[in-house]
Structure 1
Amino acid sequence: MRIALTDPIEPIGEAILREAGHELVPAAGFGADAMRALVADADALIVRQKLPDDIVAHGPRLLCAVRHGVGVDLIPVERCTEQGVIVANVPGANADAVAEFLVAQMLAAARHAEWMHARLLDTGWGQARQRTAAATELTGKTLGIVGMGAIGSRLAEIAGMGFRMRVLGHRRGDAPMPAPAERASLPELFAESDYVALACPLTPETKGLVGPELLARMKPGAWLLNVARGPVVQEAPLVEALRDRRIGGAALDVFWEQPLPADHPLRTLDNVLLSPHGAGITQEAATVTSRVAAEEVVRILAGQKPRNFINPDAWTTARARRAALGHEGSAA
C-alpha cells in the first residue's frame, strides 16, 4: 500500500513502513493543493501540516490519517469520521521535549539570557552585565498550567519538584490533579501565577480562551507561555498588553498565522520570545513520534484498531470503506 507523507519522518519510521511492504510517497509541496494531490492514490497519510477540509474527497483510497504528533486540529476529524477514515495520533511522545522547552523559556525570561547575549556582543560587557540587576529566580514563584495532559503533568513535576515552584493546574473535567499541582479556576490561575503556561488542545472551547479578561488578571510582571496552538490566545489584546507593559512578557511558540508574517506587531516588541513552533521537536521526540506513527499506520492497514483512536465512532464505517476497496482483514 502507498503511505503519503506530508513531511519527512525519521528513518526508523520509514524502515517500519517499508518492512511491512508499504511504499512511501513524499509530498511535492506545501499547502492545500499539494495535500490534495498527495492523497490521490494514497492508502494512508502521516500528517505534519494542515490538511484541507475536503482532503477525504481527494483520497478515494484513503483508509487513515495518522497525526505525527498530538494535536489533531490539523486533520478534519469530523469529515474523516463521516467517510470512514480512521484518525490516530501519538500522544505523549514529545511531552519531555515541550516541558523542557517551557522551563527553558521561563529561565530565559527570568535571567534575561537572550538579551544579555545580544548586548554583550553588540555593546559590550558592562551594559550586558547591568541587566543582572533585573534577574529573578524560579524558586518560590507560581506557575499556572492550562492543560494537565502529558505535557502539563511533566512540566508540573519539573517545576514543582525541581525548582520548588508552586504549581496551579487547570483541566477539563474532575480527574485528579497530578502532583504537585493544585487545582485552580482560570481566573485564580491567571491572577496568582508569575508564569502561565498554555498546554491545552485547540478545541471550540479553547479557541480565543485567553483574551482581555484573563490578560487583565495577570500580574504586571507575569509571563504568558504558549506551546498549545496560536488561536488559544487572542493576539490583538495580547499585543496591547505587552506594548503597554501590563504584563511582563510572552514566550510564544505558536501563532494564528504560521509562519509568523514579517510585518506582525509581535516582531516589534522587546518583551517577547518568539520561536517557530519548535517546542516539541528534538531528536529524541522525533524518533519516538515517527516510530509510533508508523506502527499505527501498519496496525490500521492490517485491519486493526489503532492504539490511539481519535474517532472510534468511525470504526463501523471504516470497515465498510475498507471492504468496498477490496481489502481483507478486520479488528481482532
Structure 2
Amino acid sequence: MLVALTDPMDPAGEAILRAAGHQVELPGAGGLDALLARADAVVVRRRLPDDLSARAPRLLAAVRQGVGLDMIPVEDCTAHAVLVANVPGANADSVAEFVIGQMLSAARRVETMHAALLSTGWDRSRARTAEAFELRGRTLGIVGIGAVGARLGEIASAGFRMRVLGHRRGDAAMPGGIERVELDALFAESDFIALACPLTPETRGLASAARIARMKPGAWLLNVARGPVVDGEALLDALRAGRIGGAALDVFDVQPLDAGHPLRALPNVILTPHAAGLSGEAMVRMSVGAAGEVVRILAGERPRSFINPEAWEASRAKRIALGHPAAEVLPA
C-alpha cells in the first residue's frame, strides 16, 4: 500500500515501512493533495486539512509522528473510518531536557551574556552575572503531567532540587516529587511555569491575562505545548511592561513566526522554532514508532496508541470495500 509522508522521516522508520512491502512517498509536483488522493496511510508532521477524508478517499490510517493530535482532524477521520494513532513518550526526554535548557539559559543569563560579549565586550558581559541565580530551591510549575511533564518533574526535583508543582486533568496520582495544585496557585507560586499540555478546547487560552497577572515579577513562562495555549496579547503586554521575568517560547499562534512579530524585538524572550522534541534520538524513536503503527494498521491490526477506537469496525468494513483483507484482531 502507499504511505504518504507529509515531511521526511528518519531512514530507520522508512526502512520499516518498505520492509513491510509498502511504497513510501513524499509530496511531489502536485503537492500533498495529489499524494493524499492515492494514499492508504499518512504519517503526519504538519497540519492536515480539516476535510482530509474528502481529499483522501482510500485512507485507512493517519499516524502522528509525535504526540500532538491538533495536526490531525480526528473527528473527520473517525466519521470516515480512518484510524488515528500517535507515539506518546517518544520525544519526552528531548522536550523535558529542552525545558531544562530554557530554564538554565534564563537563570544564568546565557543569551544576554552572549549578546553582550559580542557587542560590548568581556567586562560588560560579565556584569550580567549580577542578575544570575541558581535553580536549586526555586519553584517549577508544570501544566500537563503526561510523559513530558513527568520526566521534566523528575529532572527538576531529583536533579536540581527544585520544588515542583503540577496540574493535570482528572484525579490520577501525581508522580513522585510533584505536588498537585490548582492552576491559579501554580501561576502565583512558580518561578518558572512550563506549559506541556495538549491543545484542546479546554486548554486554549489557559495562560490567560488573569493568570499571567498572578505570576511573580521575576517569573518566566516556558511554552513547549502549542501557541494558542497562551493569550498572546496578554503575554506581550506583561513582557513589554516588565511585569514578569520573561518567556521562553518554542511554539506560536502562527508558524513560522512572522519576521515582523513584536516578540522578536523584546530583550526578555528566548525564541526557538518549534524544536523542543527534535533531537536526533527523538526523531529516530518517533519515526520508528510511527512506522510501526502504520504497519500494524495496514495489516488489519489495532495500533498500540489508538486514538479513535470507535472507528475500528467501520475501518474493517472500509478495508473490505477497498479490496483489502480484514485481518483478525490480535490480542492486546
Q: TM-score, normalised by structure 2?
A: 0.98
Query: Which residue of 1 is the match for residue 207 of structure 2?
Result: 210
In the TM superposition, residue 329 of structure 1 has moved relative to its aligned partner by 2.6
In the TM superposition, residue 35 of structure 1 has moved relative to its aligned partner by 2.9
Q: Report SS of the residue matched to 1:297.
A: helix
CA displacement 1:167-208 (0-9 Å, x = unmatched) = 000000000001100000001000000000000000010011
RMSD value, Cα: 0.9
CA displacement 1:274-308 (0-9 Å, x = unmatched) = 00000000010000110010011000000000000
Query: Which residue of 2 is the match for residue 166 of structure 1?
Result: 163
What is the alpha-carbon distance in structure 1 between the residues aligned to residue 229 and residue 260 of structure 2? 21
The aligned amino acid for 2:266 is: L
Q: Report SS of the residue matched to 1:273.
A: strand
What is the alpha-carbon distance in structure 2 between the residues aligned to residue 308 and residue 97 of structure 1? 20
Q: 2:124 aligns with which of 109, 122, 127?
A: 127
Query: Which residue of 1 is the match for residue 261 of structure 2?
Result: 264
Aligned pairs for 1:56-71 within 5 A: 56-71=53-68
**After TM superposition, where is structure 1 displaced by more than 6 Å over at least 4 residues in a row?**
none
The aligned amino acid for 1:145 is: I
Aligned pairs for 1:182-201 within 5 A: 182-201=179-198
What is the alpha-carbon distance in structure 1 between the residues aligned to residue 127 and residue 277 of structure 2? 33
Query: Which residue of 1 is the match for residue 8 of structure 2?
Result: 8
Gaps of 5+ in 1: none
Query: Which residue of 2 is the match for residue 85 of structure 1?
Result: 82
What is the alpha-carbon distance in structure 1 between the residues aligned to residue 185 and residue 241 of structure 2? 23
Residue 22 (1) aligns with residue 22 (2): yes
Query: Which residue of 2 is the match for residue 247 of structure 1?
Result: 244
What is the alpha-carbon distance in structure 2 between the residues aligned to residue 63 and residue 234 of structure 1? 36
Q: 1:115 aligns with which of 109, 112, 130?
A: 112
In the TM superposition, residue 34 of structure 1 has moved relative to its aligned partner by 3.3
Q: TM-score, normalised by structure 1?
A: 0.98
CA displacement 1:88-132 (0-9 Å, x = unmatched) = 000000000000000000000000101111211221101001000
Q: Report SS of the residue matched to 2:67.
A: coil
What is the alpha-carbon distance in structure 2 between the residues aligned to residue 37 and residue 221 of structure 1? 50
Contact 1:35-1:51 at 8 Å conserved across structures: no
Query: Which residue of 1 is the match for residue 288 of structure 2?
Result: 291
What is the alpha-carbon distance in structure 2 between the residues aligned to residue 167 and residue 68 of structure 1? 29
Gaps of 5+ in 2: none
The aligned amino acid for 2:216 is: K
Identity %: 64
What is the alpha-carbon distance in structure 2 between the residues aligned to residue 141 and residue 164 of structure 1? 8
In the TM superposition, residue 61 of structure 1 has moved relative to its aligned partner by 0.9
Contact 1:35-1:55 at 8 Å conserved across structures: no
Query: Which residue of 2 is the match for residue 314 of structure 1?
Result: 311
In the TM superposition, residue 37 of structure 1 has moved relative to its aligned partner by 2.0
**Count of equivalent residues:** 329
